[in-house]
């Protein structure tokens, strides 16, 4: 995945591997379509993803484990940013902004 132009930490992310190898190389969906969401839809619920395939609303579901905070930190410390739709934290804050140092 050297062609990605990203850090070693970014290239080690399950979501980056899925995007580069499965979505782009195997399925032929461009990075632009991934970013724009024109060829993909996202859900945080595996049951919803599988139901979409069963109902014919999706052709395939790709299920990934959550990215560990340690990996997220490594990507940020390498000066990189996480791939689109790759981070999900729950519970979400209802309003406001909370800042906490990672180091």
Annotate 66-94 with three-state secondary structure.
CCCHHHHHHHHHCCCCCCCCCCCCCCCCC
Q: How many domains does the chain have?
A: 1
Question: Does residue 88 lie in a domain region?
Answer: no
- Is 51 part of a structural domain of the chain? yes
Does 83 have pLDDT greater than 80?
yes
* 3-state class (DSSP) for residue 4: helix
Q: What radius of gyration, in Å, describes the C-alpha atoms of the chain?
A: 15
Whether 17 has a pLDDT exceeding 70, the answer reads yes
- The reply to whether 101 falls in a domain is no
Band the pLDDT of 93: cuts 50, 70, 90.
Answer: low
* 36 within some domain: yes
94 located within any domain = no
Residue 13 lies in domain: 2-77
Residue 41 lies in a domain: yes
Q: pTM of the entire structure?
A: 0.72
DSSP 3: G
Q: Which pLDDT value is given to residue 97? A: 60
102 falls within a domain: no
**What number of CA atoms fall less than 13 Å from residue 94's CA on the CB side?**
0
In the chain, the N- to C-terminal Cα span, in Å, equals 29
């Amino acid at each position: 995945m050297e062609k990605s132009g990203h850090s070693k930490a970014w290239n080690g992310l399950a979501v980056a591997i899925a995007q580069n190898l499965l979505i782009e190389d195997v399925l032929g969906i461009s990075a632009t379509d991934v970013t724009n969401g024109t060829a993909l839809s996202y859900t945080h619920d595996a049951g919803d993803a599988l139901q979409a395939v069963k109902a014919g609303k999706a052709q395939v579901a790709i299920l990934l484990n959550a990215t560990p905070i340690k990996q997220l930190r490594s990507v940020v410390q390498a000066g990189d940013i996480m791939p689109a739709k790759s981070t999900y934290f729950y519970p979400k804050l209802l309003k406001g902004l909370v800042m906490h140092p990672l180091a």
